[in-house]
Chains A and B, each alone.
Chain A
């Protein structure tokens, strides 16, 4: 089924031929990304379900585990992601306005923030490694048992907290890495001038993905780092 000659002139090479027009393509891409994010909500949701149940069962162990995390690093990382969401939102705006150089800078900044987050996460995990808090054969929470005698910590239950901690932050970090990879591609194509006010869909839906990963962290931070801190 070929387009009429007139229709062909009106769209660029980015319009895929099974779509009727650019608007249909953009609407399809956006809906597709939102549906994908819905699946991601359910994916992380399974871990939130496990977290919810074990937090009720083993509140003391969860509190001790939470205390052993560095609240400063956690807060800074939250701020880093919030900054990256800002640069993403400004980037989409730059694309909408056709400002190529601004867009490239903002995308690069986003990547920098992403790496910063991952770097800080790496530091945190390394700390956990040194403290023998990584679940597995060298797991050892004698330090927590000693520091919080009033909590009567059961090391097996403590391992459940840290298992969930690493599963949740680990999968979140994996999504960050994928996001950074995506943005590397976006930056390259933005630099090449592919995105115009008429066509910036990849930036838009890449941005949706990034914001979602930020939102997951917005919930992970209080749930993992801020349990019972006031005692």
Chain B
């Protein structure tokens, strides 16, 4: 892991950002965006997750490429499970 010691101010800034995004997520859910409600919610969630991964978990500052490969691989594999399963469900009713 990195030896880079981050300033506590920076951590507080990320914390505030995460709290704001939480409030925004909850608030936006009351606005009718049609099918995009789910998309917006997930995009915000992903952004929050990125903040945690990159800054709280120090991935932005690590010199270890392997860490990033592991994270990307795991997410990609989950995506494989979801996508290829959906390939069945999405096409079941096609004639």
Q: Do A and B share a direct contact in the complex (Cβ within 8 angstroms)? A: yes
Report which A residues bind B (CB closer than 8 A): 26-27, 30-31, 34-35, 37-38, 41-42, 45-46, 48-49, 52-53, 56, 71, 74-75, 78-79, 82-83, 85-86, 88-90, 93, 96-97, 204, 207-208, 211, 214-215, 218-219, 221-223, 226-231
Q: List 15 interface pairs A-B (beta carbons < 8 Å), by A numbering.
A: A31-B67, A34-B71, A45-B78, A71-B26, A82-B19, A82-B22, A86-B12, A89-B14, A90-B11, A93-B5, A207-B56, A214-B52, A215-B49, A219-B49, A230-B31
Instruction: Beyond A31-B67, A34-B67, A49-B82, list 4 extra A-B contacts (CB 8 Å).
Output: A52-B86, A79-B22, A86-B14, A226-B26
Contact of B26 among A38, A56, A75, A219 (CB under 8 A): A75
Report which B residues bind A (CB closer than 8 A): 1, 3, 5-6, 8, 11-12, 14-15, 18-19, 22-23, 25-26, 29-33, 37-38, 41-42, 44-45, 48-49, 52-53, 55-57, 64, 66-67, 70-71, 73-75, 77-78, 81-82, 85-86, 89
A222 near B41 with CB under 8 A, answer: yes
A52 near B82 with CB under 8 A, answer: yes
The docked-state distance in angstroms from the alpha carbon of A64 to that of B8 is 42
The docked-state distance in angstroms from the alpha carbon of A231 to that of B81 is 32
B30 near A215 with CB under 8 A, answer: no
Contact of A218 among B1, B52, B64, B67 (CB under 8 A): B52
Contact of A30 among B1, B3, B11, B31 (CB under 8 A): B1
A219 near B52 with CB under 8 A, answer: no
Query: How many A-B contacts are there with CB distance less than 8 Å?
Result: 127
A30 near B67 with CB under 8 A, answer: yes
B25 near A222 with CB under 8 A, answer: yes
Residues of the A chain whose Cβ atoms lie less than 8 Å from the Cβ of B64: 27, 30-31
Known: A93-B8, A230-B30. A86 touches B15 (CB 8 A): yes
B56 near A78 with CB under 8 A, answer: no
B5 near A97 with CB under 8 A, answer: yes
Q: In this complex, which of B38, B52, B56, B64 has the most chain A Cβ atoms within 10 angstroms of its Cβ?
A: B56
The docked-state distance in angstroms from the alpha carbon of A89 to that of B14 is 11
A53 near B89 with CB under 8 A, answer: yes
Contact of B85 among A53, A71, A88, A208 (CB under 8 A): A53
Contact of B70 among A38, A56, A86, A230 (CB under 8 A): A38
The docked-state distance in angstroms from the alpha carbon of A225 to that of B42 is 12
The closest CB in chain A to the CB of B26 belongs to A75
In the complex, how many angstroms separate the beta carbon of A139 from the nearest chain B beta carbon? 25
A42 near B8 with CB under 8 A, answer: no
Known: A79-B22, A208-B57, A229-B29. A42 touches B74 (CB 8 A): yes
Residues of the A chain whose Cβ atoms lie less than 8 Å from the Cβ of B77: 41-42, 45
Residues of the A chain whose Cβ atoms lie less than 8 Å from the Cβ of B22: 75, 78-79, 82, 221
The docked-state distance in angstroms from the alpha carbon of A207 to that of B48 is 17
Residues of the A chain whose Cβ atoms lie less than 8 Å from the Cβ of B38: 227
In the complex, how many angstroms separate the beta carbon of A85 from the nearest chain B beta carbon? 5
B6 near A48 with CB under 8 A, answer: no
The closest CB in chain B to the CB of A230 belongs to B32
